[in-house]
Amino acid sequence: MAAAWVRLCALVLIGASSAGALAKDKTPTAIVVGGGLAGLTAAYELQAKGWQVTLLEAKSGMGGRSGLATSEWIGNNKAQPVLNQYLDRFKLETLPAPEFVRTPGYLIDGEYFSAADLATKQPATAEAIKRYEKTLDDLARSIDDPLNPAANSTLFALDQINVSTWLDKLQLPATARQLVNQQIRTRYDEPSRLSLLYFAQQSRVYRGVGDRDLRAARLPGGSPVLAQAFVKQLKTIKTSSPVTAIVQDKDGVTVKVGAVGYQADYLVLAVPLRALAKIQMTPGLDNQHLAALKGTNYGWRDQLLLKFKNPVWESRARMSGEIFSNAGLGMLWIEPALKGGANVVINLSGDNARLLQAFGDKQMVDQVLIRLHAFYPQARGAFTGYEVKRYSTDAGTGGAYLAYGPGQISKYWRLWERPVQRVAFAGEHTDALYPGTLEGALRSGQRAAGQIEDLAAGKSFDPVVKAAPVAAAAAGAAAVGAAAGKDKPGFFSRLFGGDDKPVAKAEPVAKVDEPTPAPPAPAPAAAPAAPVAKEEPVKAAPAKAAPAKHVPAHKPPAKQASKPEPVKKAAAKAEPVKKKPSADTQAKAN
Ligand SMILES: Cc1cc2nc3c(=O)[nH]c(=O)nc-3n(C[C@H](O)[C@H](O)[C@H](O)COP(=O)(O)OP(=O)(O)OC[C@H]3O[C@@H](n4cnc5c(N)ncnc54)[C@H](O)[C@@H]3O)c2cc1C
């Protein structure tokens, strides 16, 4: 067995991985695990600096969590600077977004309102939304540095509160609350599952960035096009290579894909937390990391793409951009399909989407079509198929994107920004400013590549900035009390708006009885409010519905290593990659 192991190692060496590997005449080697945009960026940046890089991706295609939209809206330089830099570098063309998608819209009981319409036709709702936005902005302004959001005890206390509790205190009228809930669950997760500090921190990051900046352009082909551009640049990519174990020692890292081992000097681990939890690490991660793997909240957002031969809605219909409905329906938009036709993308988010897991893909699509036909009878003949992506039940993702729950910033803030010995972490979840976005994924890949270079140059990493050391993490009621202004004059008004004392507003209903989410109904666009079809058992027509796919939209051919191939036929049973290094070794490696 020992002999087999030695032979295996000899054959799979990607580069010499001894201490001498970093001598001047040796090309330094790195393995990147995960072929989403974070891993692709890290691999690209390291390769550009002269590293020999091997990228291992579990799936058969590259690009990771690319959404279903074939023609994604993207932000401008102000909103997504790094994304725009790469688009420029790879000469990927974008188209300016039409004016009407650059501001949000609202669907209230099936009727469409622009922001301007809302102000004139539903002034109470518009006013309440404004009040909510103002209060949130005041809260965001309390954070001086979004990289250190829990800078004082008051801010730290916000991490112990969930967003729903805060919204309750605002006493918004029912419709406004429903719309706000929908906006939050679409962008992050269910308000009750979100840390108020995280919500405020994100609002701080995007302060001064308007909706117009966020949807400034359209990227034809969506983020898969950007992923492809990276893939073209990389020399060694191995798809269908799920990493199962990682061993670090003082000389380098060994990565196992089943029975096959790869070695290199350093590693970038660019997989989502739930996927990382399944990889066996030697030496093991410490308790804080292990707790974060298990406990960090991910938002829930699934997507349904309905394809039509032609737009079945009126040409004047404005069902596009970010549209929030009070019917428990996720954000939806309509986009021109790349090769003619038209698509409707429906985002199902938060607890609505969690409940909908009981529905099969086809069942969900049928229910949506029933409702669409009620508004647009011509939809029946134009439907050509669908795709469904359920990120949260995908073992490789375990959720749509990071969305810190109450108490989690206090425990895990910037934890994954710090390398562990020879491993740097990347992925949207490791970016402190733009988690949950393409921008965050790209930035994290750049940061991880830089850290690998620093490690190779002998730099060691200081502990991350800790959340403010508040007296015994005042949780629960105590925290709410502190946040409510007991330790900082004027803070209550920033937290809940209005006076410094909580006063029951004259406004009606704070209690929101949101409609049951199931099943989702794409509401009509500018069409007059016709009643939504009841849950009739009618089978939605088209027999042509394509089976839901769960593959990335594109599948570039995997490039093969020019260096010695790993032995695929290594011992049938996985052998231990290497002896567990001693604690002493670990300390030195760090
Ligand atoms: C529905 C939805 C809509 C979105 N909309 C937008 C938007 O409009 N704008 C925006 O900016 N962002 C959006 N995002 C967020 C954006 O898509 C993500 O932040 C980004 O794609 C994450 O990239 P990543 O590289 O961090 O992770 P991923 O793309 O998840 O990449 C991780 C990769 O690791 C691989 N992997 C996992 N385990 C292993 C293993 N053991 N071995 C090898 N490989 C492994 C996975 O297969 C995957 O390819 C959206 C996300 C979702 C889910």
Atom of ligand 1 nearest to the CA of 73: 8
Is 306 touching ligand 1 by the criterion CB < 6 Å? no
Nearest CA to ligand 1 atom 15: 437
Nearest to 261 by CA among 569, 588, 582, 589: 569
pLDDT at 339: 56
C-beta 57 within 6 A of ligand 1: yes
Ligand 1 atom with minimal separation from the 396 CA: 37
CA distance 6 to 66: 40
Is the CB of 39 within 6 Å of ligand 1?
A: yes
Question: What type of residue is 113?
Answer: F
Q: Is the CB of 191 under 6 A from ligand 1?
A: no
**Ligand 1 pocket test target in 271, 345, 347, 433 with most atoms within 8 Å of CB:** 271
Give the global pTM. 0.79
Q: What is the pLDDT of residue 467?
A: 45
Nearest CA to ligand 1 atom 6: 437
Q: Is 59 in the pocket of ligand 1 (CB under 6 A)?
A: yes
290 Cα–ligand 1 center, Å: 21
Half-sphere exposure of residue 405, counting CA atoms within 13 Å on the CB side?
Answer: 12
Q: At what angle are helices 223-233 and 81-89 packed, to 10 degrees? A: 50
The torsion of the CA quartet 288, 292, 294, 298, rounded to 10 degrees, works out to 170
Whether ligand 1 lies within 6 angstroms of the CB of 275 is answered as yes
pLDDT (0 to 100) of residue 68: 67
In angstroms, what is the span from residue 35 Cα to ligand 1's centroid?
9
Per-residue pLDDT of the chain (590 residues; tens, 9 = 90+): 444 444 444 334 443 343 444 556 789 999 999 999 999 999 999 999 999 999 999 999 999 987 666 667 899 999 999 999 999 999 999 998 887 778 888 888 877 888 889 999 999 999 999 999 999 999 999 999 999 999 999 999 999 999 999 999 999 999 999 999 988 998 999 999 999 999 999 999 999 998 889 989 989 888 999 999 999 999 999 999 999 999 999 999 999 999 999 999 999 999 999 999 999 999 999 999 999 999 999 999 888 888 888 777 655 455 566 778 776 555 555 555 555 667 777 888 888 788 888 889 998 888 778 777 776 777 788 899 998 888 888 877 778 999 999 999 999 999 999 999 999 999 999 999 999 999 999 999 999 999 999 999 999 886 554 444 433 333 333 433 344 333 343 443 444 444 444 333 333 333 444 544 333 333 333 222 222 222 222 233 333 333 322 222 233 333 333 333 443 333 333 333 333 333 332 333 22
Rounded to whole angstroms, what are the CA distances from 251 to 67, 149, 272, 421?
Answer: 39, 37, 26, 11
How would you classify the pairing of strands 237-238 and 217-220?
unpaired
Q: How remote is the CA of residue 171 from the centroid of ligand 1, in Å?
A: 36
- Residue 413 and residue 417: Cα distance in Å, rounded? 9
C-beta 257 within 6 A of ligand 1: no
Cα 275 to ligand 1 centre (Å):
11
Ligand 1 neighbour 239 (Cβ under 6 A): no
Question: Helix, strand, or coil here: 319?
Answer: coil
- Distance (Å, whole) CA 90 – CA 79: 19
Asked whether 242 lines ligand 1 (CB < 6 A), one says: yes
The strand ranges marked E within 462-562 are none
Strand partners, 266: 30
Please work out whether the CB of residue 436 comes within 6 Å of at least one atom of ligand 1.
Answer: yes
Q: How far is the CA of 369 from the centre of ligand 1 (A)?
A: 28
Q: Give 494 Cα–ligand 1 centroid separation in angstroms.
A: 35
Q: How far apart are the first and last CA of the chain?
A: 31
CATH of 2-65+222-296+414-464+560-589, one of 3.50.50.60, 3.40.50.1220, 3.40.640.10, 2.30.29.30: 3.50.50.60
Position 365 scores a pLDDT of 86
84 C-beta closer than 6 A to ligand 1: no
Q: Best of 70, 262, 438 to mutate for ligand 1, by most ligand atoms within 8 A of CB?
A: 438
Rounded alpha-carbon distances, angstroms, from residue 545 to 77, 121, 154, 534 = 39, 39, 53, 22
Q: How far is ligand 1, taken at its centre, from the CA of residue 285, in Å?
A: 23
Q: Which of the 8 DSSP states describes residue 559?
A: P
Instruction: Specify the pLDDT at position 321.
Output: 65
Pocket of ligand 1 contains residue 255 by CB under 6 Å: no
Nearest CA, atom 10, ligand 1 = 437
Query: Which residues share a beta bridge with 344?
Result: 306, 334
Q: Where are the beta strands (DSSP E) in 351-419?
A: 383-390, 401-402
Ligand 1 pocket residue status of 75, Cβ below 6 Å:
no
Ligand 1 pocket member 187 (CB < 6 A): no
Please tell me the distance between residue 64's alpha carbon and the centre of ligand 1 in angstroms. Answer: 5
Return d(Cα 323, Cα 526) in angstroms, integer: 12
Integer Cα distance of 15 and 51 in angstroms: 10
Return the pLDDT at 315: 52
Give yes or no for residue 420 CB within 6 A of ligand 1: no
CA-nearest residue, atom 36 of ligand 1? 34
d(CA 425, CA 548): 32
Torsion angle (degrees, nearest 10) of CA 470, 475, 478, 484: 80
| 175 touches ligand 1 (CB under 6 Å) | no
CA distances from 406 to 84, 399, 413 (A): 33, 17, 12
Is the CB of residue 400 below 6 angstroms from any atom belonging to ligand 1?
Answer: yes
Instruction: Residue 487: count other Cβ atoms within 10 Å of its Cβ.
Output: 14
> Any idea how long the chain is?
590
Cβ-based neighbours of 120, under 8 Å, separated by 6 or more: none
pLDDT at residue 552, rounded to an integer: 29
CA distance 85 to 279: 33
The distance from CA 232 to its chain's CA centroid, rounded to whole angstroms, is 24
For the chain, the structural domain boundaries read 2-65+222-296+414-464+560-589
Residues 6+ apart with CB under 8 A from 39: 32, 33, 55, 57, 64, 268, 270, 271, 426, 427, 445
